[in-house]
Structure 1
Amino acid sequence: MGIFSRMTDIINSNINALLDQAEDPEKMIRLIIQEMEDTLVEVRSSSAKVLADRKAAARRLEQVEAEARSWEEKARLAITRGREDLARAALQEKHAIEEEVEAVQGELKATDEHIEHLNTEVAQLQQKLNDAKAKQKALLMRGKTVESRIKVKRQIHREALDGAFQRFEHFERRMDNLESQLESMDVGRDVPPDLAAEIDALAGDERINDELDRIKSEMSEKPGAS
């Protein structure tokens, strides 16, 4: 693809559409800007050659116009000397030179039109480049803004989660306190009342048995006991 056709493609391209279709708009805008800058460098380099060629053509035009005037002056001189044959020959040389003058004039006109068109396209490309850089700046700003918002959102969610855990821990502590209060009410009540009474009765039976054995022993020791 030639430089100028590539420049025309860039100028006619819709940057917004390219960015909308891109998976990575920031990468795409960097590539677009790089392409525009490279194209501008090449176009300006080519423009310098065109301008140099125009200057050379302009100098050539001055030379051939001067030659045409010179042959006309020679024809006039020949006429004054009565040498019409020489005047005719000089005018023939002048006409040949004038054809070259017309050719160089046509070349200069075409070159001037090309330079004018080139200047217009370069200005358009420069404007496109400025727009692309503005979009790049806007994308970078949007990226930073989104990153900041995401960071803030994450912090908010973290704080909300921490608060939820704190409330849950507070609820757990309340439940622990209530359960402790409930358990404290049952302290000392683990032994059933009936079992305690039975144990007390056993102790009473033991005393009675001891007392009974003592009496029996005393009676057996008395004379005449059977």
Structure 2
Amino acid sequence: MGIFSRLTDIVNSNLNAMLDRAEDPQKIIRLIIQEMEDTLVEVRSAAVKTIADKKELERKVNALQREHDAWQNKAELALEKGREDLAKGALHAKNRAAEAVAAGQSQLADIEAGLAKQNEDIGQLQAKLDDAKQREGQMMARAKSAQTRLKARGAIYDSRVDDALSRMQRVERTLDELDGKVDAYDLGRPGKPSLDDEINKLETDSKVEQELAELKARLGNRTPSQA
């Protein structure tokens, strides 16, 4: 099973459990991030072990290669000294060393292929983790906004708010009645004329005086017989 399939199973299992309990969306988001981080640590730890195995095997292969070269030199020396039997024995040992070198190199190839796959998996998981962390802030903001709106909407339809508004309206009514009591004291009493009233009175008085002057003038021009 690949790391992504296993990670998906783990996350889905935990998500289903949290959804069944109606957990906070922020906790679910954090869970996904945490699972990915834990898996990344696990995969990196496995890669560290693989790298250590590779280095150890490389040392063994190098040692076998030196042993192979040494048997070659021994075979040549034995042949030079006329010991063909020793030369044959050295060549057999060299061949066994060569087979061991080939087997070790084959294992190294497998390890390097595994490391390449692990490196690819780590790269993909890191990219997904970075993307998830980037989206985490946006999703957290959306969750917070939704919770705030839900709280505000609940407050709008909360009977306590209606009761408070009703009490405020009663207070306003009481204040109106107090204002009415104050104004009632002035009912029936002559009030101080306003600026407009005084100016209108001046205009009226001026007009009356003009008409009176015109009337006197007409009456003064009449003769007694006309009177």
| Contact 1:11/1:128 (8 A) holds in 2 | no
For structure 2, the residue ranges without an aligned partner over 5 or more in a row are 181-227
What is the alpha-carbon distance in structure 2 between the residues aligned to residue 39 and residue 103 of structure 1? 33
**2:35 partner amino acid:** E
What is the percentage of aligned positions where both structures have the same residue? 38
> 1:94 and 2:91 equivalent?
no
**2:108 corresponds to:** 108
Q: Deviations over 1:118-172 (max 9, x none)?
A: 011111111222222223211111123334545666788869x949x749x66xx
TM-aligned CA deviation for residue 6 of structure 1: 6.3
What is the alpha-carbon distance in structure 2 between the residues aligned to residue 141 and residue 61 of structure 1? 56
> 1:144 and 2:140 equivalent?
no
> 1:57 and 2:57 equivalent?
yes
Pair 1:152–1:8, CA change in 2 (3 A) = closer
Secondary structure of 1:82's match?
coil
> 1:7 and 2:3 equivalent?
yes
**1:142 partner amino acid:** R
Please list, as runs of the form range in 1=range in 2, the aligned pairs for 1:28-177 lying within 5 A after superposition: 28-149=28-149, 162=165, 166=169
| Contact 1:64/1:98 (8 A) holds in 2 | yes
TM-aligned CA deviation for residue 53 of structure 1: 1.0
TM-score of the aligned structures, taking structure 2 as reference length = 0.59
What is the alpha-carbon distance in structure 1 between the residues aligned to residue 140 and residue 146 of structure 2? 10
TM-aligned CA deviation for residue 10 of structure 1: 5.4
- Paired positions, count: 169
| Contact 1:76/1:87 (8 A) holds in 2 | yes
What is the alpha-carbon distance in structure 2 between the residues aligned to residue 117 and residue 74 of structure 1? 42
| Contact 2:65/2:98 (8 A) holds in 1 | yes
What is the alpha-carbon distance in structure 2 between the residues aligned to residue 11 and residue 39 of structure 1? 7
| Relative contact order higher in (CA < 8 Å, ≥ 6 apart) | 1
TM-aligned CA deviation for residue 38 of structure 1: 1.6
| Contact 2:7/2:35 (8 A) holds in 1 | no
| Contact 2:54/2:111 (8 A) holds in 1 | yes
**2:188 corresponds to:** none
| Contact 1:74/1:87 (8 A) holds in 2 | yes
Pair 1:56–1:127, CA change in 2 (3 A) = same
Secondary structure of 2:136's match?
helix
What is the alpha-carbon distance in structure 2 between the residues aligned to residue 129 and residue 11 of structure 1? 12
| Contact 2:33/2:133 (8 A) holds in 1 | yes
| Contact 1:19/1:29 (8 A) holds in 2 | no
Q: Deviations over 1:95-140 (max 9, x none)?
A: 0111110111011111111111001111111122222222321111
Q: Deviations over 1:23-78 (max 9, x none)?
A: 55322222222212222222222222111111110000100000001111111112
| Contact 1:11/1:125 (8 A) holds in 2 | no
Q: Considering only CA atoms, is the larger Rg found in Structure 1 or Structure 2?
A: 1
